[in-house]
Amino acid sequence: MRHSLPIAPQFYVTAPQPCPYLEGRMERKLFTALHGNTADTLNNSLSQQGFRRSQNVLYRPSCTECSACFSARIKVSDFRPSKSQKRTLRRNAKVERKSTSPWATEEQYALFREYLDSRHANGGMADMDVFEFAAMIEETPIRSRVIEYSDAGDRKLIGVCLTDVLEDGLSMVYSFYTAKRPQNSLGTHIILDHVDIAREAGLDYVYLGYWVPGSPKMDYKARFSGLEVYFGGGWHNMTNPENYSSDAHPLSIDPIAEQVAKISLPDRHPTSR
């Protein structure tokens, strides 16, 4: 008799802490561990339900009085670069891309420190040392790549993205780049290049992480066409960003038990007896 059993991970909730995106609010995350031979299957399934990966953990915001975070992804077939994005591609025409296995280097860490010191000096990663950085890059139980961007002239590393390869797309886990070339808009270029990589690989989506209306740090994600956001248990085409609010009535947020019950879990591979 053939049958299949669902993968049944344990879910946990973090303690509330100050929200890094909206001042005066507290954030809380629902998370589960990734491990064993079901890690890829679980990562694919939960990524399609708005979760994000950090090392061997999958998480999704689960705040008690706020639902402002929207998981966002670009639908590759619907994406059309804007005029400013086309200019960004032209400005970076001499930037070269190299895909490597998830292995941390000293050059990457130096660029990572430069990025944090210039853009996120007071953020949660500000005190990350070289060993913690190596763990962020290397501790991945699923199929991941490090995409490096270098200047074609001097071969100097100017950008890096840790990228997961999902069954339906690319998930940009974390990217960083030099602050010495603001005119190049390297953050935008890295996203545009991932759209090209996904298209070349026949993948449907580029997952961007969370978009938070009202957060200046996240405004750039709404500038990409073909954007879909996850809410109400499904993905929806983004309309005018101004139609989305960071306000939410606390009674509109499901209790944790109900949130977990609504998560669709993948089946294990069929076995026989």
Q: Which of 64-68, 143-147, 233-237 has the lowest mean pLDDT?
A: 64-68
CATH of the structural domain 72-240, one choice from 3.50.50.100, 3.40.50.800, 3.10.129.10, 3.40.630.30: 3.40.630.30
Name every residue whose Cβ is closer than 8 Å to that of residue 87 and which is 6 or more positions away in sequence.
none
Report the pLDDT value the prediction gives residue 1, as an integer from 0 to 100.
Answer: 37
- The mean pLDDT value for 121-130 works out to 74
- The mean pLDDT value for 244-258 works out to 75
Amino acid at the residue 132: E
Report the pLDDT value the prediction gives residue 68, as an integer from 0 to 100.
Answer: 87
pLDDT(272) > 60: no
Mean pLDDT of the chain: 90
Tokens standing for residue 232: 């109400």
Could you state, in order of their start, the residue ranges of all structural domains in the chain?
Answer: 2-70+246-272, 72-240
Query: CB count, 10 Å around CB of 219?
Result: 13
Is the entire prediction scored with pTM above 0.85? yes
Say how far apart CA 28 and CA 57 lie, in whole Å.
15
Cross-strand bridge partners of residue 145 = 163
Say how far apart CA 106 and CA 145 lie, in whole Å.
17
Over residues 186-219, the pLDDT tens digits come to: 999 999 999 999 999 999 999 999 999 888 888 8
pLDDT(249) > 70: no
- The mean pLDDT value for 228-245 works out to 89
Tokens standing for residue 260: 């977990």
pLDDT(150) > 70: yes
The label of the residue with tokens 């998930």 reads 171
